[in-house]
Amino acid sequence: MERTFAIIKPDAVERNLIGKVLDKIETAGFRIVGMKKMQLSRAQAEGFYYVHKERPFFGDLCSFMSRSPVVVLCLEKENAIADWRTLMGATNPANAEAGTIRKEFAKNIEENTVHGSDAPETAAFEIPYFFSALELA
């Protein structure tokens, strides 16, 4: 079993898409180990995305991620990291495969509905950034 970290981003929460995204997650066989809705501060968004701090889109990305609530999730299944990335689809929805969450719901490359860890080391940083051990059931 493997765990990964996911976010349902502000563009999706604003459009009342939490339930539709969760349905796809559960239908694909992920177990929801941890879940909470929260409002990120600008500093919390910057800390989460620090690996992108030199990118030209960093400022806009942190403004977007802190403009309204998100849902953060810890997901578990075999091959969870790769399988969640497959279910999300490409970062840019214009390049996403049919049937993926970003193809169906994402607005553009920035407001792309969901986030997922890209590697085990990333998941090992991202899960405890948001969840304590007691919150992972």
Q: Clarify whether 52 is annotated catalytic.
A: no
Least Å distance between CB 53 and ligand CMP?
A: 12
Would you say 77 or 85 has its CB closer to ligand CMP?
Answer: 85
- What residues form DSSP beta bridges with 73? 6, 35
> For residue 11, which of 87, 99, 115, 123 has the smallest C-alpha distance?
115
**By CB under 6 A, is residue 115 in contact with ligand CMP?**
yes
Which entry of 115, 116, 123, 130 is annotated as an active-site residue? 115
Applying CB under 6 A, among 44, 86, 91, 122 the residue interacting with ligand CMP is 91
Whether residue 102 contacts residue 85, with contact meaning beta carbons closer than 8 Å, is answered with: no
23: tokens are 């349905």
Provide the 8-state DSSP code for 2: E
Applying CB under 6 A, among 33, 61, 72, 127 the residue interacting with ligand CMP is 61
Instruction: Tell me the longest C-alpha to C-alpha distance in the chain.
Output: 39
Would you say 33 or 61 has its CB closer to ligand CMP?
Answer: 61
Part of the chain binding ligand CMP (CB under 6 A), chosen from 19-27, 39-47, 106-114, 119-127: 106-114
Cβ atoms within 10 Å of 78's Cβ, excluding its own: 9
Least Å distance between CB 79 and ligand CMP?
A: 18
**By CB under 6 A, is residue 57 in contact with ligand CMP?**
yes
Quote the radius of gyration of the chain (alpha carbons, Å).
14
Interface residues toward ligand CMP, by CB under 6 A: 52, 57, 61, 91, 109-110, 112, 115
Residues involved in catalysis = 115
